[in-house]
Amino acid sequence: MGSPVVLGIESSCDETGAGLVRDGRLLGHALASSMDEHARFGGVVPEIAARAHVHSFGPVVQQALDSAGLRMSDIGAVAVTTGPGLSGALQVGLAGAKGLAYALDVPLYGVHHLAGHVAADTLEHGPLPDPCVVLIVSGGHTSLLLVRDLARDPIVHLGDTVDDAAGECFDKVARVFGLPYPGGPAIDRVAREGDRRAVAFPRPMTGARDAPYAFSFSGLKTAAARWAEQRRTEGGELPVADGAASLQEAVADVLTRKAVAACRDHGVSTLVVVGGVAANSRVRELAEQRCRAAGITLRVPPLRLCTDNGAMIAAVGDLLVRAGAEPAPMDVSIDPSAPL
Ligand code: KG4
Ligand code: ZN
Protein backbone atom coordinates (compact mmCIF):
# COMPACT_ATOMS: atom_id res chain seq x y z
CA MET A 1 0.00 0.00 0.00
CA GLY A 2 1.44 3.33 -1.09
CA SER A 3 0.89 6.64 0.64
CA PRO A 4 -2.62 8.10 0.59
CA VAL A 5 -4.03 10.67 -1.81
CA VAL A 6 -3.92 14.03 0.01
CA LEU A 7 -6.55 16.64 -0.69
CA GLY A 8 -5.23 20.17 -0.08
CA ILE A 9 -7.53 23.13 0.54
CA GLU A 10 -6.48 26.78 0.25
CA SER A 11 -8.78 29.67 1.22
CA SER A 12 -6.60 32.27 2.96
CA CYS A 13 -7.38 35.14 0.59
CA ASP A 14 -9.41 35.45 -2.62
CA GLU A 15 -8.64 32.06 -4.22
CA THR A 16 -10.51 28.87 -3.35
CA GLY A 17 -8.10 26.09 -4.28
CA ALA A 18 -8.23 22.31 -4.11
CA GLY A 19 -5.38 20.01 -5.12
CA LEU A 20 -4.66 16.29 -4.97
CA VAL A 21 -1.14 15.01 -4.37
CA ARG A 22 0.32 11.58 -3.72
CA ASP A 23 4.00 10.76 -3.24
CA GLY A 24 5.12 14.21 -4.39
CA ARG A 25 3.09 13.95 -7.56
CA LEU A 26 0.31 16.36 -8.53
CA LEU A 27 -2.74 14.35 -9.58
CA GLY A 28 -5.14 17.21 -10.24
CA HIS A 29 -6.23 20.62 -9.02
CA ALA A 30 -8.87 23.29 -9.45
CA LEU A 31 -9.21 26.95 -8.57
CA ALA A 32 -11.94 29.57 -8.26
CA SER A 33 -11.17 33.22 -7.70
CA SER A 34 -13.26 36.08 -6.36
CA MET A 35 -10.70 38.57 -7.72
CA ASP A 36 -13.18 40.16 -10.15
CA GLU A 37 -15.61 40.87 -7.32
CA HIS A 38 -12.92 42.85 -5.46
CA ALA A 39 -11.66 44.78 -8.48
CA ARG A 40 -13.92 47.80 -8.08
CA PHE A 41 -12.81 48.18 -4.44
CA GLY A 42 -9.11 48.18 -5.39
CA GLY A 43 -8.29 45.36 -2.98
CA VAL A 44 -9.64 42.20 -1.38
CA VAL A 45 -12.80 42.75 0.68
CA PRO A 46 -12.72 40.07 3.45
CA GLU A 47 -16.50 39.62 3.66
CA ILE A 48 -16.84 39.12 -0.09
CA ALA A 49 -13.89 36.68 -0.10
CA ALA A 50 -15.44 34.57 2.70
CA ARG A 51 -18.79 34.41 0.96
CA ALA A 52 -17.15 33.40 -2.31
CA HIS A 53 -15.33 30.52 -0.55
CA VAL A 54 -18.69 29.23 0.77
CA HIS A 55 -19.99 29.32 -2.77
CA SER A 56 -16.93 27.71 -4.41
CA PHE A 57 -15.73 25.14 -1.87
CA GLY A 58 -17.83 22.16 -3.00
CA PRO A 59 -17.55 22.72 -6.76
CA VAL A 60 -13.78 23.29 -6.58
CA VAL A 61 -13.18 20.08 -4.62
CA GLN A 62 -15.32 18.17 -7.13
CA GLN A 63 -13.50 19.75 -10.10
CA ALA A 64 -10.13 18.80 -8.61
CA LEU A 65 -11.32 15.19 -8.19
CA ASP A 66 -12.69 15.13 -11.75
CA SER A 67 -9.43 16.51 -13.17
CA ALA A 68 -7.55 13.68 -11.41
CA GLY A 69 -10.11 11.02 -12.38
CA LEU A 70 -10.66 10.29 -8.67
CA ARG A 71 -13.66 9.99 -6.38
CA MET A 72 -14.31 11.41 -2.94
CA SER A 73 -13.68 7.98 -1.41
CA ASP A 74 -10.13 7.94 -2.86
CA ILE A 75 -9.07 10.77 -0.52
CA GLY A 76 -6.84 9.42 2.25
CA ALA A 77 -5.97 12.65 4.10
CA VAL A 78 -7.03 16.30 4.08
CA ALA A 79 -4.64 19.24 4.45
CA VAL A 80 -5.88 22.79 4.88
CA THR A 81 -4.38 26.26 5.28
CA THR A 82 -4.86 27.40 8.88
CA GLY A 83 -3.01 30.70 8.48
CA PRO A 84 -1.84 33.33 7.98
CA GLY A 85 -4.65 34.99 6.05
CA LEU A 86 -8.09 36.58 6.31
CA SER A 87 -9.91 35.03 9.24
CA GLY A 88 -13.35 34.69 7.64
CA ALA A 89 -11.83 33.21 4.51
CA LEU A 90 -9.66 30.75 6.48
CA GLN A 91 -12.65 29.66 8.56
CA VAL A 92 -14.63 28.61 5.51
CA GLY A 93 -11.79 26.42 4.23
CA LEU A 94 -11.09 24.89 7.63
CA ALA A 95 -14.76 24.15 8.31
CA GLY A 96 -15.09 22.50 4.91
CA ALA A 97 -11.88 20.50 5.37
CA LYS A 98 -12.98 19.31 8.81
CA GLY A 99 -16.34 18.24 7.42
CA LEU A 100 -14.66 16.19 4.70
CA ALA A 101 -12.06 14.65 7.04
CA TYR A 102 -14.80 13.74 9.51
CA ALA A 103 -17.15 12.29 6.91
CA LEU A 104 -14.38 10.31 5.15
CA ASP A 105 -12.78 9.31 8.48
CA VAL A 106 -9.32 10.42 7.33
CA PRO A 107 -6.64 12.48 9.12
CA LEU A 108 -6.61 16.27 8.92
CA TYR A 109 -3.41 18.36 8.68
CA GLY A 110 -3.12 22.11 9.32
CA VAL A 111 -0.73 23.83 6.92
CA HIS A 112 1.06 27.17 7.07
CA HIS A 113 0.27 29.15 3.92
CA LEU A 114 3.92 30.06 3.31
CA ALA A 115 5.09 26.45 3.70
CA GLY A 116 2.60 25.80 0.91
CA HIS A 117 4.24 28.37 -1.35
CA VAL A 118 7.63 26.78 -0.66
CA ALA A 119 6.35 23.26 -1.36
CA ALA A 120 4.69 24.31 -4.63
CA ASP A 121 8.04 23.99 -6.35
CA THR A 122 8.46 20.34 -5.33
CA LEU A 123 5.48 19.40 -7.51
CA GLU A 124 7.38 20.56 -10.58
CA HIS A 125 11.04 20.05 -9.72
CA GLY A 126 11.06 17.28 -7.12
CA PRO A 127 12.24 17.33 -3.48
CA LEU A 128 13.96 20.50 -2.27
CA PRO A 129 17.67 20.24 -1.54
CA ASP A 130 18.61 20.64 2.12
CA PRO A 131 19.39 23.45 2.77
CA CYS A 132 17.98 26.00 0.35
CA VAL A 133 17.15 29.69 0.51
CA VAL A 134 13.59 30.61 -0.37
CA LEU A 135 12.46 34.08 -1.40
CA ILE A 136 8.73 34.38 -0.81
CA VAL A 137 7.22 37.37 -2.57
CA SER A 138 3.48 37.81 -2.65
CA GLY A 139 0.79 40.37 -1.95
CA GLY A 140 1.04 39.74 1.78
CA HIS A 141 4.63 38.62 2.32
CA THR A 142 8.19 39.38 1.36
CA SER A 143 10.62 37.14 3.22
CA LEU A 144 13.91 35.34 2.84
CA LEU A 145 13.87 31.91 4.47
CA LEU A 146 16.39 29.20 5.16
CA VAL A 147 14.60 25.91 4.57
CA ARG A 148 15.86 22.46 5.55
CA ASP A 149 13.36 19.57 5.75
CA LEU A 150 9.89 21.13 5.31
CA ALA A 151 8.10 18.34 7.18
CA ARG A 152 10.52 18.15 10.13
CA ASP A 153 12.56 21.30 10.62
CA PRO A 154 11.26 24.73 11.44
CA ILE A 155 11.72 27.29 8.67
CA VAL A 156 14.39 29.84 9.65
CA HIS A 157 13.47 33.44 9.00
CA LEU A 158 16.45 35.35 7.58
CA GLY A 159 14.65 38.59 6.85
CA ASP A 160 11.29 40.12 6.18
CA THR A 161 9.73 43.31 4.94
CA VAL A 162 9.52 45.96 7.64
CA ASP A 163 6.43 47.50 6.01
CA ASP A 164 4.67 46.68 2.71
CA ALA A 165 5.06 43.45 0.77
CA ALA A 166 6.47 43.68 -2.76
CA GLY A 167 3.12 42.64 -4.31
CA GLU A 168 1.34 45.25 -2.23
CA CYS A 169 3.75 47.87 -3.57
CA PHE A 170 2.92 46.82 -7.15
CA ASP A 171 -0.81 46.78 -6.40
CA LYS A 172 -0.83 50.23 -4.76
CA VAL A 173 1.40 51.95 -7.31
CA ALA A 174 -0.66 50.43 -10.15
CA ARG A 175 -3.69 52.13 -8.67
CA VAL A 176 -1.89 55.50 -8.61
CA PHE A 177 -0.83 54.93 -12.23
CA GLY A 178 -4.47 54.23 -13.18
CA LEU A 179 -3.84 50.54 -13.94
CA PRO A 180 -6.36 47.78 -13.12
CA TYR A 181 -6.33 45.52 -10.04
CA PRO A 182 -4.41 43.30 -9.38
CA GLY A 183 -1.59 45.67 -10.09
CA GLY A 184 1.36 43.27 -10.33
CA PRO A 185 0.39 41.64 -13.64
CA ALA A 186 -0.72 45.05 -15.00
CA ILE A 187 2.64 46.67 -14.16
CA ASP A 188 4.45 43.68 -15.68
CA ARG A 189 2.40 44.04 -18.88
CA VAL A 190 2.83 47.80 -19.44
CA ALA A 191 6.48 47.73 -18.32
CA ARG A 192 7.33 45.83 -21.51
CA GLU A 193 6.77 49.06 -23.45
CA GLY A 194 8.78 51.19 -21.03
CA ASP A 195 12.39 52.11 -20.27
CA ARG A 196 13.59 50.67 -16.96
CA ARG A 197 16.25 53.36 -16.66
CA ALA A 198 13.75 56.22 -17.15
CA VAL A 199 13.22 56.97 -13.45
CA ALA A 200 15.88 56.46 -10.76
CA PHE A 201 13.68 55.05 -8.00
CA PRO A 202 15.40 54.25 -4.68
CA ARG A 203 16.67 50.77 -3.74
CA PRO A 204 15.44 50.67 -0.11
CA MET A 205 17.57 48.96 2.58
CA THR A 206 20.27 47.78 0.22
CA GLY A 207 22.81 49.51 2.44
CA ALA A 208 21.39 48.21 5.74
CA ARG A 209 24.36 46.33 7.19
CA ASP A 210 22.55 45.41 10.41
CA ALA A 211 19.59 43.99 8.45
CA PRO A 212 21.06 42.59 5.23
CA TYR A 213 18.00 40.49 4.37
CA ALA A 214 15.28 42.95 5.41
CA PHE A 215 13.11 44.71 2.85
CA SER A 216 11.12 47.92 2.76
CA PHE A 217 8.74 48.86 -0.03
CA SER A 218 6.66 51.62 1.49
CA GLY A 219 9.20 54.34 0.60
CA LEU A 220 9.38 53.07 -2.96
CA LYS A 221 5.60 53.22 -3.21
CA THR A 222 5.67 56.83 -1.98
CA ALA A 223 8.48 57.72 -4.40
CA ALA A 224 6.46 56.33 -7.31
CA ALA A 225 3.32 58.17 -6.20
CA ARG A 226 5.27 61.42 -5.85
CA TRP A 227 6.82 60.97 -9.29
CA ALA A 228 3.35 60.44 -10.82
CA GLU A 229 1.95 63.47 -9.03
CA GLN A 230 4.84 65.64 -10.17
CA ARG A 231 4.53 64.53 -13.78
CA ARG A 232 0.79 65.17 -13.68
CA THR A 233 1.17 68.71 -12.31
CA GLU A 234 3.71 69.40 -15.05
CA GLY A 235 0.89 68.60 -17.47
CA GLY A 236 0.79 66.13 -20.32
CA GLU A 237 0.24 62.42 -20.20
CA LEU A 238 1.81 60.29 -17.47
CA PRO A 239 4.52 58.06 -19.00
CA VAL A 240 3.04 55.01 -17.27
CA ALA A 241 5.16 52.45 -19.15
CA ASP A 242 8.41 54.13 -18.06
CA GLY A 243 7.18 54.47 -14.48
CA ALA A 244 6.10 50.82 -14.39
CA ALA A 245 9.35 49.55 -15.92
CA SER A 246 11.45 51.63 -13.51
CA LEU A 247 9.44 50.55 -10.47
CA GLN A 248 9.62 46.90 -11.53
CA GLU A 249 13.38 47.27 -11.99
CA ALA A 250 13.82 48.69 -8.48
CA VAL A 251 11.76 45.90 -6.89
CA ALA A 252 13.45 43.14 -8.92
CA ASP A 253 16.91 44.58 -8.20
CA VAL A 254 16.40 44.68 -4.43
CA LEU A 255 14.75 41.25 -4.23
CA THR A 256 17.34 39.40 -6.29
CA ARG A 257 20.36 41.21 -4.85
CA LYS A 258 19.37 40.26 -1.29
CA ALA A 259 18.34 36.72 -2.20
CA VAL A 260 21.69 36.00 -3.85
CA ALA A 261 23.52 37.56 -0.88
CA ALA A 262 21.57 35.31 1.50
CA CYS A 263 22.65 32.23 -0.48
CA ARG A 264 26.28 33.35 -0.59
CA ASP A 265 26.41 34.27 3.12
CA HIS A 266 24.93 30.92 4.16
CA GLY A 267 26.88 28.77 1.74
CA VAL A 268 23.66 27.67 0.03
CA SER A 269 23.68 26.70 -3.63
CA THR A 270 19.93 26.64 -4.40
CA LEU A 271 17.55 29.59 -4.46
CA VAL A 272 13.80 29.03 -4.77
CA VAL A 273 11.61 32.01 -5.66
CA VAL A 274 7.91 31.54 -4.88
CA GLY A 275 4.71 33.55 -4.35
CA GLY A 276 2.65 35.65 -6.73
CA VAL A 277 5.45 38.12 -7.53
CA ALA A 278 7.68 35.23 -8.69
CA ALA A 279 5.46 35.45 -11.79
CA ASN A 280 7.01 38.84 -12.59
CA SER A 281 9.04 38.66 -15.79
CA ARG A 282 11.80 41.02 -14.66
CA VAL A 283 12.14 39.34 -11.25
CA ARG A 284 12.59 36.03 -13.07
CA GLU A 285 15.05 37.45 -15.59
CA LEU A 286 17.27 39.21 -13.02
CA ALA A 287 17.17 36.20 -10.70
CA GLU A 288 18.33 33.98 -13.57
CA GLN A 289 21.18 36.32 -14.52
CA ARG A 290 22.43 36.84 -10.99
CA CYS A 291 22.15 33.19 -9.95
CA ARG A 292 24.03 32.09 -13.05
CA ALA A 293 26.79 34.61 -12.29
CA ALA A 294 27.02 33.39 -8.67
CA GLY A 295 26.88 29.66 -9.49
CA ILE A 296 23.53 29.25 -7.74
CA THR A 297 20.81 26.90 -9.00
CA LEU A 298 17.54 28.81 -9.38
CA ARG A 299 14.18 27.09 -9.00
CA VAL A 300 10.93 28.90 -9.81
CA PRO A 301 7.67 26.99 -9.92
CA PRO A 302 5.54 27.41 -13.05
CA LEU A 303 3.20 30.40 -13.04
CA ARG A 304 0.07 28.42 -12.21
CA LEU A 305 1.73 27.14 -9.01
CA CYS A 306 3.26 30.53 -8.06
CA THR A 307 0.00 32.19 -7.04
CA ASP A 308 -2.29 30.81 -4.33
CA ASN A 309 -3.60 27.32 -5.06
CA GLY A 310 -4.70 24.10 -3.37
CA ALA A 311 -2.01 21.90 -4.89
CA MET A 312 0.70 23.59 -2.82
CA ILE A 313 -1.22 22.85 0.40
CA ALA A 314 -1.69 19.23 -0.69
CA ALA A 315 2.07 19.11 -1.34
CA VAL A 316 2.81 20.02 2.30
CA GLY A 317 0.14 17.57 3.51
CA ASP A 318 1.78 14.83 1.45
CA LEU A 319 5.20 15.62 2.99
CA LEU A 320 3.68 15.57 6.49
CA VAL A 321 1.92 12.25 5.89
CA ARG A 322 5.09 10.64 4.54
CA ALA A 323 7.15 12.02 7.44
CA GLY A 324 4.70 10.42 9.88
CA ALA A 325 3.65 13.78 11.35
CA GLU A 326 0.88 13.94 13.92
CA PRO A 327 -2.50 14.94 12.38
CA ALA A 328 -4.31 18.03 13.71
CA PRO A 329 -7.00 17.50 16.36
CA MET A 330 -10.58 18.01 15.19
CA ASP A 331 -10.84 21.17 17.33
CA VAL A 332 -7.91 22.85 15.53
CA SER A 333 -8.51 26.57 14.93
CA ILE A 334 -7.41 29.04 12.33
CA ASP A 335 -4.40 31.21 13.08
CA PRO A 336 -4.90 34.33 10.90
CA SER A 337 -1.69 36.03 12.04
CA ALA A 338 0.37 32.82 12.30
CA PRO A 339 4.07 33.51 12.73
CA LEU A 340 6.42 31.80 10.39
O1 KG4 B 1 0.84 34.59 -3.84
P2 KG4 B 1 -0.30 35.42 -4.24
O3 KG4 B 1 -1.25 34.90 -5.29
O4 KG4 B 1 -1.20 35.80 -3.03
C5 KG4 B 1 -0.71 36.19 -1.80
O6 KG4 B 1 -0.51 37.40 -1.64
O7 KG4 B 1 -0.50 35.29 -0.94
O8 KG4 B 1 0.31 36.83 -4.72
C9 KG4 B 1 -0.50 37.88 -5.21
C10 KG4 B 1 0.41 39.05 -5.50
C11 KG4 B 1 -0.37 40.32 -5.87
O12 KG4 B 1 0.17 41.42 -5.16
C13 KG4 B 1 -0.10 40.46 -7.36
O14 KG4 B 1 -0.14 41.82 -7.80
C15 KG4 B 1 1.29 39.87 -7.48
O16 KG4 B 1 1.26 38.76 -6.60
N17 KG4 B 1 1.60 39.45 -8.84
C18 KG4 B 1 2.57 40.02 -9.61
C19 KG4 B 1 2.53 39.37 -10.86
N20 KG4 B 1 1.55 38.42 -10.81
C21 KG4 B 1 1.00 38.48 -9.57
N22 KG4 B 1 3.42 41.00 -9.32
C23 KG4 B 1 4.27 41.37 -10.30
N24 KG4 B 1 4.29 40.83 -11.52
C25 KG4 B 1 3.45 39.83 -11.85
N26 KG4 B 1 3.51 39.29 -13.09
ZN1 ZN C 1 -0.03 33.31 -1.09
What is the pLDDT, as a whole number, of residue 314? 98
pLDDT in tens, 268-314: 999 999 988 999 999 999 999 999 999 999 999 998 898 899 999 99
> What's the CATH superfamily of 130-301?
ATPase, nucleotide binding domain (3.30.420.40)
Binding positions for substrate? 136-140, 171, 184, 188, 280
Q: Is 67 within 8 Å of 28 (Cβ atoms)?
A: yes
pLDDT at 42 exceeding the cut of 80 = no
- Please write down the long-range contacts of 228-236, taking CB distance under 8 Å and 24 or more positions apart: 228/176, 228/177
**Could you tell me the pLDDT band of residue 90, with boundaries at 50, 70 and 90?**
very high
Cα of 234 to ligand 2 centre, how many Å?
A: 39
Average pLDDT over residues 187-207: 96
Q: Is the CB–ligand 1 distance for residue 275 below 6 Å? A: yes
Residues 6+ apart with CB under 8 A from 97: 7, 9, 78, 79, 80, 108
What is the pLDDT, as a whole number, of residue 141? 86
Binding positions? 113, 117, 136-140, 171, 184, 188, 280, 308
Percent of the chain past pLDDT 90, that is, above it, reads: 85
pLDDT in tens, 233-252: 988 889 999 999 999 999 99
Query: What's the burial of 313, exposed, middle or buried (CB within 10 Å: 0-12/13-18/19+)?
Result: buried
Regarding an ipTM greater than 0.90, the answer is yes
Cα of 53 to ligand 2 centre, how many Å?
A: 16
| Ligand 1 pocket mutation, candidates 307, 308, 313, criterion most atoms within 8 A of CB | 307
Same fold, 5-118+306-322 and 130-301: yes
Q: Is the CB–ligand 1 distance for residue 14 below 6 Å? A: no
Average pLDDT over residues 184-197: 97
Q: Is the CB–ligand 1 distance for residue 307 below 6 Å? A: yes
Question: Which backbone phi and psi does 248 adopt, to 5 degrees?
Answer: -60, -40
Q: Which of 5, 162, 158 is CA-nearest to residue 68?
A: 5
Q: Is the CB–ligand 1 distance for residue 315 below 6 Å? A: no
Architecture of 5-118+306-322 per CATH? 2-Layer Sandwich (3.30)
Q: What is the mean pLDDT of the chain?
A: 95
Domain boundaries of the chain, sorted by first residue: 5-118+306-322, 130-301
